[in-house]
Structure 1
Amino acid sequence: MVSVPSVKLNSGKSIPVIGLGVWETAQDVAGTIVSKALDVGYRHVDSAACYYNEQEVCEGIASWLKKNPSAKREEIFYTTKIWDPEHGYEKTKKAIEESLEKAKSIDYIDLILVHSPQSDDERRHGTWIALQEAVDSGKVKSIGVSNYGVKHLKELLAYPDLKYRPTINQIELHPWLARPDLVEFCQKERIEIEAYSPLAHGQRVNDPKLDYFAKKYNKTNAQILIAWSLARGFIVLPKTATESRLLPNLQSIDVKLDDEDVKTLNSWDEHLVTGWDPLDYPLDSEKKA
């Protein structure tokens, strides 16, 4: 079984540096793939309300813990997210309650993220207040954001009632989408970066330029891409619902890229967005301009 190290968040909680993403993982297979992932060494699973598999993912974790009584709930890190239509204080409070109900089999949620900034200034603020209250309740351990640009983070960090800083910003990252300015800002503010779609949705996984590195390190192209995120200091979320890919993705932890190779991969940046890109979503002041 592969052992994955963790990093400490600004909340004081620790998060494994490789997690299993379950976007588009069907409800009828989510629990099984999560259990299989835990078997091979994953201790971090990333879901969201709009993935419609929160309950199945949590039940997969609970089932695995029951089958492995020596393992502890505290060893597993579970993330979910608040979808944009649920922004605003009251709506977010209800959404948190619904996510906690779906997670009752594992007792609490390790991390809740604001899924994107796509609402408005007032509702984003209300959402953060509700998330802070959830942390105070003890049922949510850490809070953060996803798909936030620098301007959205600056807005959040300037809230007059800010009690808990965002622990994480989860964004699409890979060598063709390096986002250097945003990465630098997050690192300066002690906000950990989580890289989703580290394989660029498969669009460049067969790029011949990757073959050189795969041969040099005797690894697959996918493992090189995951290793790049790790070398950059990111937490990385390779998504798969295919059991045979679980272990190889996790074994990327053993790939130690040379500094020069990391620089070469960095140089491929062309701002290739392969999913969605709400990082430039306008603030209210920009909408009125």
Structure 2
Amino acid sequence: MSSILILLIFALVNVVVTGLFAGVVLRQFARRRRVYQLYWMIALLMAFFATLSYVCMVVVGPTSGAGIVFFRLYYVLGAALAPSWLGLGSIALVTSARVTRISLVILSLLSVLVAVLITTTPVNMHNLSQIAGTPGTGILQFGAWLVLTITLNSLGVLAVVGVAVYSGWKLWRRSSNVAGFNPGNLLWANVLILIGDALNAAAGTLARFFGLASSFWLIMAFGWIAFFTGVLLTGRRAAVSRPVNEIRDKSEMKGSTA
């Protein structure tokens, strides 16, 4: 049991970080009702339940009936869907409602398709029995699911990284505060978001194409922590702008009484 815990330690870190991350974005969405927050929340809940399913799979036994179900759930939510839904949130942040709706319809259809493909693809039971501590590459038989998964992941990462670069560039060009928040701090927030998503993408790429499967969960942990920290920095904007608004209101009140 102790050896299993050692193999799962970084996966458990991912469970905690993605759970906290999803909770923060859920609270932000409940307060502001922004569409991009909704899609990010969905993606983060996918990542949380995917990683939790991975842990449950290892605990109950990967090759057991329940273990196979947990594996497929982990792969559908984590490997195939979460990155692309994060990308949808970034698209919603910078594009029109019409573009976002079209992207949502397309992604929803592709999500259903890749989920069906993954849940019906044969599993290599020998490789599955040795999944603990690795992402699980080489377990599902090669097929259309892999091409679609790589495509969705690539587009999702491109959207998140692209929007982070675009937002950072716009902030870098500004010299004044944005809603009472120093643009330099928001720039660092975008840098952390970019680094975090890039690390998450690199974790899967290094595992699949370079054989670095044992480092997958460690890299993912650093990626989610960086991403989470970046989002927390952007959330400080409202807290900083509140005193500015209060000062402005007091000044207006003094002017009206003069």
TM-score normalised per structure 1: 0.28
Give the helix-richer structure, 1 or 2.
Answer: 2
TM-score normalised per structure 2: 0.30
Give the strand-richer structure, 1 or 2.
Answer: 1
Q: Which has the larger radius of gyration?
A: 2
